[in-house]
Amino acid sequence: MKWITREKPKIDRIACPWLIKHFIDKDAEFIFVPFDEVISQAELQNAIPFDVPNVELSHRLGLCTFDCLIEKYKIEDEAIHKMAEIVRGADTDRHDIAPQSAGLWAIASGMAYNITDDYELLKQGMIIYDGLYSWAKYLQEVKHFQNPFENLLVDVFQKVFQPSTKNNRKIPSWAKELKDIIQDQIDTNLTLSLKEISKELDVNPAYLSREFSKYFENLSFGEYIRKLRIEKAIDLLSNSNHSLTEIAYLTGFSDQSHFTRIFKQHTGQNPSVFKKNIIKSKSDTKS
């Protein structure tokens, strides 16, 4: 079967052909054409269009086309579902979804820069996804240092040298500016994103995602934002009469159930229990 999509692929339009070839249609033939020709050429060549607007196999509700193929063709392989997280994070600039997403984006964008022929890029990209699948299938728990002596050296290095390196690390100007931006916007911009901030800082979002944890308490951007919002929620629970629904809204959560789940992950308690304990503590203090 013929499959057709937009030219100049990077992530989804390389990952999807790999998935199609290995799990859906081993005889698949792929066609890359300019964006505005995909639909007309699909009809002309009797090809299945993908990763373009207004077709069945494309982005929707935060998912990328790779996800939609998995869903449509009912692919149950756990390694594929792990790959889907990585592909989705890289293709949507949400590198908090999986730690490997930033690396996949870096590799994919670099390859697309070096290889201008779409079909040669697809050929080389297939090798990348072969490797990613093998890692997801067999090697997720394998660490780079397997030799006991290597592990000992790394342990000694971390204990002896890392503290001084960490203490002497100069905080870059972008990290200071980023912290100010987050503090300024955390209360007013409920959809604050690293991609949005990267434009304001004029810093590559992949680099920002990769370096973020070094200067923000070893947390990813998403984890750090959730931490700040939970801290604000604790303050509101302690010092206001807002309902839980109102607090969920004021702290940027999509709904009360999402707020409750994240709050419990951070504090070990549901917000309702947390508030009751605060009220009881204040009452005990007065008595």
DSSP string covering 135-160: IIIIITT--S--SHHHHHHHHHHHHH
d(CA 134, CA 95): 21
Beta bridge partners of 33: 6
> What residues contact 188, with CB distance under 8 A and at least 6 apart?
none
Q: Among 14-23, 29-38, 221-230, which stretch is predicted with the lowest mean pLDDT?
A: 221-230
| Cβ neighbours, 10 Å, residue 193 | 16
d(CA 110, CA 14): 14
pLDDT-derived band of residue 166, with 50, 70 and 90 as boundaries? very low
Per-position b or e across 97-106, b if 16+ CB within 10 A of its CB:
bbebbbbbbb
pLDDT-derived band of residue 51, with 50, 70 and 90 as boundaries? very high
61-84 tens-digit pLDDT: 889 999 999 999 999 999 999 999
Angle between helices 221-239 and 205-215 in degrees, nearest 10: 60
Assess whether pLDDT exceeds 70 at residue 205. yes
pLDDT-derived band of residue 26, with 50, 70 and 90 as boundaries? very high
Q: Among 71-85, 106-120, 179-193, 249-263, which stretch is predicted with the lowest mean pLDDT?
A: 179-193
* Mean pLDDT, residues 227-254: 86
**223-286, CATH topology level:** Arc Repressor Mutant, subunit A (1.10.10)
More confident residue, 167 or 104: 104
Q: Among 15-24, 47-56, 90-99, 116-125, which stretch is predicted with the lowest mean pLDDT?
A: 90-99
Write down the pLDDT at residue 187.
67
* Mean pLDDT, residues 193-209: 83
* Mean pLDDT, residues 185-206: 78
For the chain, give every residue range classified as CATH 1.10.10.60: 223-286
Q: How far is CA 181 from CA 194, 208, 223, in A?
A: 11, 14, 16
pLDDT-derived band of residue 156, with 50, 70 and 90 as boundaries? low
pLDDT-derived band of residue 165, with 50, 70 and 90 as boundaries? very low
